[in-house]
Each structure stands twice: as structure tokens, then as C-alpha cells.
Amino acid sequence: MGEITGGELVVRTLMQAKVARIFGLHGAHLETIFQSCLSHGIPVTDTRHEAAAGHAAEAYARVTRGLGVAMITAGPGFTNVITSMANAFLDRTPVLYLSGAAALRDTETNTLQAGIDQVAVARPITKWAERITVTREIPRLVAHAIRLATSAPTGPVLLDLPSDVLTATVDEGSIEIPTTIVLDSPASPDPRAAAAALDLLATAARPVIMVGAGAYRSRAEEELRTFVETTGIPVYSDFEAHGLLPANHPLYGGTFHKMADLPTGTDGIDVVLGLGVRFGLFTLGGSGRLVPGTAKLVHVESDAREVGRLRDAAVPIVADPRATLQALALHARERQWPDRGAWQRTVAEAKVARRERLRSALDRKSGPIHPLQAVDAIVSNLPVDTIVIGDGAESYHWLNEVIHQNRRGSYLTHGFLGAVGFGMGLAIGAQTAEPKRRVLCLAGDGAVGFTIAEFHTMMRHRLPIVVVVMNNSSWGASQHFQEIVSGPARVTGTRLGEALYDQAAAAFGCFARRVTKLEELAPAIRDGFASGKAACIDVAIDVAAIPPEVELLMSRF
């Protein structure tokens, strides 16, 4: 056997972990990894900005429910990906960030793209971050990083790779690549806690199930459906868990915020089964919470830090959501469950009533396109099984009103960081993960400007993503906040002015269309998908309208 480089050891360990795709930008520090990827046939989707590479790795992890890998060079390459790293950290997305670094021999020499401690910067926003200083230790530490990223609670990790550690060689025969990298041993619930949960749910008059990203990542769709159909308990969802119970299922109530439409007081929710849900921003309503303070909570979470963080749990279960549902479903069949027809009708009627409250916007006949009309037309013209990305401080809130995916992991949107401008990167990662499915990215005009050059990435890699820009010539959420808090005469720094994003996309070779009338939108969406290449549909919408969700959030300031 001969000598192999540190970059080769990185790639061989990734291969052992079944990594089939990497996202990144080239940098000289990482050349040995790029060359080894080329030799082994591992494709690298190179983006135009490191932020997009990081977000693409996030989406790849979210769609596949596996590991995403982003490779970025030292210095500005690393600093450009920090937003993605923080986003993955807050949303617990398993991404391995491989950052190039200056050679160890050049420490304190003022060399190129050095002088910052990349590991120290990354530690507060990762599960684990470390610098590899010995070439032969690369397989062990890469495996350790992947193991940490993919074990519950999942999250991002960083490995800092000095260039001389990557270019150094070791005897191939002296190195062993770890064989056990990704662990598959989800925690099961305590039988007493499972029994207590069933007792509480069986005696509830108005229970609901809330499923979050943790339930989706545990692959709990079959177990959820079995339990729901056995017990008759309605379901609400958020994040990738939208579609975990298909939106066309009669017991599906909608995304979390639609729980605010249910009755309150003595007629409101009395018991909640929270599966992989982190209470906080996305469980807040107009009264401060979507779940009434009087409701009892069965909280199932893989991370003990989330149980009791904001509200007491009558039955706390620190375990894997899927394993818990399996235990619950097994014993649920042995019980007599009450007739919940009246409560199920209440949930169904709330969905209809919300749609009717928004009817005036949908029926508008004149003036600019109302954003709700736009998203309704978009969702109504999606090919079957399309993955939808929502990006923008207000755009995705409008999308939340009409989205109805029937397949889990098909709706990717903002998490706890609220990182506007990640949609193009997410779309690239999603399309790469699922090349046979269609992908649509809905972005505000502010959001699309962050990484507009990624239209070029889509064209270079032949990714037929349709990007719809909701163009109101404004940072809409900020403008509306100013108008409400400071007054209409005090709007400053939030108006974007006229820009035609379809023309920018056309310059990169994309299919492009400008839409100013509602009747033009459906044909434009269909033509964009039919074009077979990346597409940009620039839709002029009304800036005045405020999404109901945003009004609730603004009421808290």
C-alpha cells in the first residue's frame, strides 16, 4: 500500500458514513478533499456563496432526514457560513461543516485567511467543534463529528482542517476507517410514563396532538397515523412535520398557528400530546400561547432541556417520538376510546371559518394582486409531490395560510433564527436530495436579493427549481412594523424601490416571467415548471396587506 493524504482520509470516512453529496465552494486549503471527491465520484455542488452552500446542506439533511455536509474555505469562507451554522444549531439540523484553515506551521505569521480562531467562533453555535492537528486522527474525529451530529438531539458540528494536515500523507496500511459511525438506537419511553399518557388522553374531552420537527426526524409517520386513527385525536403540525399526517386527512387541523382559531375557556383544548415539539416562538398566539394554560401536556422530546422549559408537563417523556408512538399505539388498541365526533367537527369547522375570514382577500377583483391570492394560485398549480420552500419575513406567513402538503418533509421554511434569504440555498439542497421531484421556492423580494447569484448555480447544475418572487418593493414586515409602531410618516430604510428580478434571472439563463395580473400567475407557474430549467416568476403584489400571523407577532412588541 502507498501513502494517502489527509484529504483522502476525510473522503474515505465520509464514504463509510454513506455521504453521497457535498455542498461548498472551492478554496486552496481544501484542494486535497476536492481531488479525492473527484477520484471517488462524490459530487460537490458548488454554489456562488458559502451561505447558500450551508443552507443547501441544511435542506439536504432536512429532506433526507440524514446528514448534510458543507465544505468552506478559511477566513471569509468560514465567516460567510456562520448564519447557516447558527440556523442549523437553533433548528437542530445535522450538518457537518468542514472548514479549511491556514497551515499549523503558519500560526502567528499573519498569513492569508488566518488570524481568527474559527473553532472558538463556532463553539457557541454548534453541538461540537474541533480542530484536527494530526493527519492520522482524521478518520476518528470525522466519525466522531458525524456521530454527534446525527444523534438526538441532532445538530451541526464543525471540523477545522489546517491545510498542512490535509496535504500531509500517511501509510495507507496503518489507518483504519471506523465502521460504526451513525448510531441507530433511539431512546424508548418508560412504560409507566406511556401508561400515564394514555390515561390522560383517554379521559380528555378535547385533546389535540402537536407534531414538530422531532417527530418528523424520528420517521414517525406510520405510527402517528395508526395512533390518530385509533384514538380519533386531531393533529396540528409545523416545520417538516407538515404532511406527517397528510393534509387531506380528516383529522388534520393545520399548522400550529391555526390552533388559535379553536374555542377558548371551558370549550378549549384540555390535553395536548406534544411530539418532538419545542415550545416557544412557534407555539405563541394572540393571547400569548396556542395551548391554554389550563390544558395538560404530555411532552415527548428527545432533549430533556426542552421538557418544562416554558410550561409544565403533566407527563414528561424524554424519548424518541417514534418509539413513544409505537408504545402508545400498542396499548391504545386495548382501550375503549370515546366518541370525539363533536370535537373533530369543531376542528374541521375552524379550518373552514378561517378560510372564510380571508375570503375578501381571495375574491379581490381590482387593484394590485393580494399576496394571499398569489400564494393560493401558486399552491393550486403545484405539480403533485412538489417540495415547497418558504422564504421571507411575510411571504412564508401568507404561504402558511394555504399550504397543504400530503407528504412529510415537503415544506421547508423559517425556524427559530428567522434567517431571511436562505430560500435559494434550501431549494438547491432539496432539489439535489430529490432530483425526481419538483421544487418551488417562494421568496420575498428582500429575501431573494441575498443570494440572487444562485440562479447561476441552478443553471450550472441543471436544477429545474421554480423561484417565485413576491415583489412588493419593500422589506414588508419591517415597513409594516414601522407603520404600526412609529407611524406611516416615519417609514425609513425599509422601502426597496423598483427591481425586476425576472430580468436578473434571465441574465443567468433562466426561464423568466413578470406577472402583474392574477390571471397571469397560474400559466406562468405551469410554464416555469414545463421549461425544464431554473425559473424565476416575479409577481407584483400589494404592499399594504399584513398576514394574520404577523399581526399576532407584532402585537407582542
Catalytic residue list: 29, 50, 113, 418
Q: How far is 10 from 33, CA to CA, in rounded Å?
A: 7
Residue 319 half-sphere exposure toward CB, CA atoms < 13 A:
22
Contact 14, 142 (CB under 8 A): yes
Among the listed residues 245, 203, 247, the one whose alpha carbon sits nearest the alpha carbon of residue 228 = 245
C-alpha 541, offset from chain centre: 26
H-type alpha helices, 41-110 = 50-64, 76-80, 82-91
Closest to 398 (Cα-Cα) out of 442, 431, 434 = 442
H/E element, 158: strand 157-162
C-alpha distances in Å from residue 249, one per residue of 208, 303, 437: 15, 29, 22
**What gap in Å lies between CA 209 and CA 347, rounded to an integer?**
12
Cα distances (angstroms) measured from residue 403 to each of 7, 18, 410: 43, 33, 10
Cβ-based neighbour number of residue 62 at 10 Å: 28
Inter-residue contact 234 to 347 (CB < 8 Å) = yes
Is residue 67 within 8 A of residue 17, CB to CB? The reply is yes
* DSSP secondary structure string for all residues of 462-518: T---EEEEEE-SB-HHHHHHHHHHT-GGG--S-B-----HHHHHHHTT-EEEEE-SH
| Bond into 153 cis (ω within 30) | yes
Rg of the chain taking only CA atoms, in angstroms: 24
384, 454, 379: which is closest to 423 by C-alpha?
A: 454
Distance, C-alpha 43 to centroid of its chain: 23
